Amino acid sequence: MRLISLLACLVALSACATHPGKVDQVRFAKDAEPILTTTEAGTVRGVEGAGTRAFLGVPFAAPPVGDLRWRAPQPVGAWQGVRDATRIGSDCTQAIGRRSILGGGGGIVVGSEDCLYLNIYAPGGDAAEARPVMVYIPGGAFTVGAGANYDPSKLAREQDRVVVTMNYRLGALGWLAHPGFEATGEGFGGNFGLMDQQAALKWVHRNIAAFGGDPGDVTLFAESAGAWTACYLMASPQSEGLYQRVIMQSGGCLEPSSLVRAQDAAQSGPMFAERLGCTGEDQIACLKALPAWRLSRAASLRAGINGPGSWGPVHTDATVPESPAVAIREGRFTRVPVLVGTNLDEGRLFANEVQDMDRYQKETIWMYGDQGERVLARYPVGADGPAYAIAANFTDQRFACPSQALRRLLAQHVPVWGYEFADREAPFVLPDWIVGLDLGAYHASELAYLFGTRWVFADPKRFTPEQKALSERMQRLWATFGRSAFAAEWPRVEGAGPVRVFKPQGDVMDDGFFERHHCDFWDGTPFGAVH
């Protein structure tokens, strides 16, 4: 999907250039004090200050380097003495650039293969009983991003929760599939990043009590690519018992390009290797001998969530044995309460270059092929211009309608709630005149509200009083999801609707989500949600 241009660069650069998760306000607070706790691998030293405890850069698996590249994550080796946990660990290797964010290759490489770290935040002081836990999986198109890009210290402190953010392998290092991987007994590959996420959840289950958390009370929440993987995790038998509820923000696993078989992804593996000069009989040995930066800069050559030539998880392997769409429809998934939602204007973040009719028509035909003319007719260009038209169809096809379909499937088996974030005045770091259009409730705009702290796109210091109240409301609902306090504020709905529409002026319940987003139209095309 080639809509992304200026903002792809912004996302990628920002994802690696800033780390709000350093929580310097904790490390350098006037009352900051070191604090020790012991994990299964050894003692770590974090910091407590400004009402928050932080343990940063804590390893949850051995570094996946050398022979462990493209292998399932292995246990952390024990250490002697006290390990410093007051600074973030390295981001996972990732290529930064216009094309690379979607798997197109090139870019500037940052990060390290030694990157399987998580960050743990909790309120200051000791609690009378173990606190509920929230584990966050970050997004980034499966190619960029890190747990340390998010600062959940406010969420942890004000909602009395232990909050964990994680890294996982990205790009080719996280998602490459190849027939040669079968020799290790781990199948075709393609899910190393997903395995990392499971390893992090298992680590939390075994160790979070040492940080004041309850391992039997875990909410998994995730955004964008993280939400797509959360959906895959639900379809993985190995995830059973690792969490008690799931929140998926702007991502799911029913959009057609999200559902890639490991066998199909593996067909491109030999070609990927050949492009890197690995033409001998043992391509895997050759690939393992290459530096990580070369692998990270190489084009994907396979299908994925962003269409041809991108990365993402796969199914029909040992980790996810069947298509998530089938598993969910048939009830073979981790049965827990689920909250699934999207943003009103997801697609506007990706449409800034579509400023004339010719570009709009070409992009639409490129994306939808022989259905392109139907899409052009259903989404005509209005007075605001073609960027808004293509953003609307992208929002509906890629985000809104698959999420609605997911809610409907899940609701046959588990309690389900839906939302739409609809604050069209959500702050953004760049002025609209640079971006080229009014971003509205853009993709990822809800994150500043959910965490209540600065991150890549927005600074909550710019919130109006009404937006601040919305932020506090969302934090409270996410933190209490599945509990009596949540039920009192958001009663259970039947089936897939209505959805709760979040607005600064006050939330409303909407029965018209399916119709508003033209989901009947998309269901009548090959690009409709798989359900």
Catalytic residues: 224, 346, 443
Write b or e for each residue in 48-82: b if 16 or more Cβ atoms lie within 10 A of its Cβ, otherwise e. bbbbbbbbbbbbbbbbbeeeebbbbbeebeeeeee
Distance, in Å, from the CA atom of 435 to the CA atom of 457, rounded to the nearest integer, reads: 12
Distance, in Å, from the CA atom of 177 to the CA atom of 105, rounded to the nearest integer, reads: 17
Q: Determine the 3-state secondary structure of 156 from DSSP.
A: helix
* Total residue count of the chain as it appears in this document: 531
Distance, in Å, from the CA atom of 323 to the CA atom of 531, rounded to the nearest integer, reads: 11
Q: Compute how many other C-beta atoms are within 10 angstroms of the C-beta atom of residue 281.
A: 7
Specify the DSSP element, H or E, that contains 479.
Answer: helix 465-480
Write b or e for each residue in 239-264: b if 16 or more Cβ atoms lie within 10 A of its Cβ, otherwise e. beebbbbbbbbbbbbbbbbbbbbbbb
Q: Compute how many other C-beta atoms are within 10 angstroms of the C-beta atom of residue 456.
A: 22
Alpha helices by DSSP H, 298-400: 324-330, 357-368, 372-378, 386-394
Residue 430 amino acid letter: L
Of 91, 85, 82, nearest in space to 23 by CA:
85
Specify the DSSP element, H or E, that contains 419.
Answer: strand 416-421
Question: How many CA atoms within 13 Å lie on the side-chain side of 95?
Answer: 25
Of 89, 151, 81, 95, nearest in space to 121 by CA:
151
Contact present, 172 and 69 (Cβ < 8 Å): no
The DSSP string of 252-272 is -S-SGGG--BHHHHHTTHHHH
Contact present, 303 and 314 (Cβ < 8 Å): no
Q: Determine the 3-state secondary structure of 239 from DSSP.
A: helix
Distance, in Å, from the CA atom of 286 to the CA atom of 201, rounded to the nearest integer, reads: 32
Radius of gyration of the chain (CA): 22
The DSSP string of 466-478 is HHHHHHHHHHHHH
The sign of the CA dihedral 346, 351, 357, 363 is negative
Residue 292 amino acid letter: A
